[in-house]
Homo-oligomer: A and B are copies of this chain.
């Protein structure tokens, strides 16, 4: 089987190896597709070399079919279409208070242990979510990032009729916008890239370029002064942090989706003055996976258009290099059987 490994220094190796039989409690998956996540790009750029044990197979936004069952796995069968929720919480402690998905000793499969960018992948059976027979496996590789979006929206407490402002229209921002809209919210996306702006408009979204339009005045006008009920900070840049507390209305909730590596200036006064809430949101819980699976199964949203490129697994080096050169692209996927 084809196995790819991140070797450090912006380099992937591609080799032919023998597929290993799954251990007890594991399943072997014939991987269909694996998306390139922002985290994978971070790893490729060497920004997580202290965490990733090189050489390492990475990747976690995947879909596939069960190809072998380890001892004791009876509720799955060969040929089942599946996705993996790549969270290994076996090191959970009482001090985690049962909040398994972000427990202190959480291992993220595909970062802290081998990932899906290979033809066959062995994972603990408890990570599996089963799909319906009819599910499109290319779309199914969007379930993992879509589950992130479902988690973000769920933790925001968004209700139908509320106004959600999404700061940043990259893949996660777009998925958050889709989920928020699917739950009946009025969605406004703030994005600077003209290609992404047009993409979002083509999907029926209200999009503002904050460089050209005063976002706060725009949202104020669209909401009769109520401003945003929920703000999703998905941009990861200081101007987004500056505007998030302005564009949120009284008792607005701001969901922190972006990863800000360093402490950044935040207007705590606005939190006090308008009784805002900041809600940290990380990965997902099983119910978010089920919501995402449901959305992909129904396939009523233009998910397919989010996939802007598919490359063969054997061309992983080229795929990451091309991805860096194309800031307009949304989701690049690897076809793991070619």
- The smallest beta-carbon distance between A104 and chain B, in angstroms, is 7
Bin chain A's interface residue count: 35 or more
> What is the bound-complex CA distance between A286 and B273, given in angstroms?
18
> What is the bound-complex CA distance between A5 and B3, given in angstroms?
80
A102 neighbours in B (Cβ, 8 Å): 250, 273-275
- The smallest beta-carbon distance between A268 and chain B, in angstroms, is 4
A95-B226, A97-B249, A224-B95 in contact; A256/B271 too (CB < 8 A)?
A: yes
> What is the bound-complex CA distance between A257 and B262, given in angstroms?
24
> What is the bound-complex CA distance between A242 and B99, given in angstroms?
24
A268 neighbours in B (Cβ, 8 Å): 241, 256, 258, 260, 263-264, 266, 280
- A269: CB under 8 A from chain B? yes
- A62: CB under 8 A from chain B? no
A276 to B269, Cβ gap below 8 A? no
A250 to B280, Cβ gap below 8 A? no
- A91: CB under 8 A from chain B? no
Which of A277-322 touch B at CB < 8 Å?
277-282
> What is the bound-complex CA distance between A97 and B163, given in angstroms?
13
Cross-chain pairs A/B with CB under 8 angstroms, 10 sampled: A95-B223, A97-B250, A97-B251, A99-B251, A99-B275, A103-B250, A265-B265, A265-B266, A268-B280, A278-B278
Extra pairs beyond A94-B226, A272-B282 (20, CB < 8 Å): A95-B224, A95-B225, A95-B226, A95-B227, A95-B250, A97-B226, A155-B275, A256-B271, A256-B272, A263-B269, A264-B268, A265-B266, A266-B266, A268-B280, A272-B281, A273-B280, A273-B282, A274-B280, A275-B281, A277-B278
